Amino acid sequence: VNAELTMGENIADLAGVAMAYKAYRLSLQGKEAPVIDGYTGDQRFFIGWAQGWARKYRDDDLRRRLLTDPHSPSEYRTNVIMSNLPEFYRAFDVKPGDKMYRAPADRVKIW
């Protein structure tokens, strides 16, 4: 992934999901969302984000996108963005050694 090409959209994704999460929490007015099918409201929020970006690219399409698209491939728009959000860590109890874990000093925070 060409970070120079995708940086602006990566920042937008990170800031956007962080703002959306805050809006979601405000909408609960201090209450907790119910657990549904074993998932908390916070978990469902992040699962919804990931499902929204679920894609399977053909190899030639992915190569073209890597050269021209200012958006990172979907896997990165989901996993890398989530690995920077402390709320994601709390929602899924992510710990050192887990695949999605990123050391706090390595996490990106926008604003």
* pLDDT reading at 104 higher than 90: yes
Would you list the domain boundaries of the chain?
A: 3-106
Please identify which residue in the block is written with the tokens 């007015």: 29
CA atoms of 9 and 39, how far apart (whole Å)? 29
Q: Does an H or E element contain 63, and which? A: helix 59-68
* pLDDT reading at 39 higher than 90: yes
110 pLDDT band, cuts 50/70/90, is confident
User: What is the rounded end-to-end Cα distance, in angstroms, of the chain?
Assistant: 24
* pLDDT reading at 58 higher than 90: yes
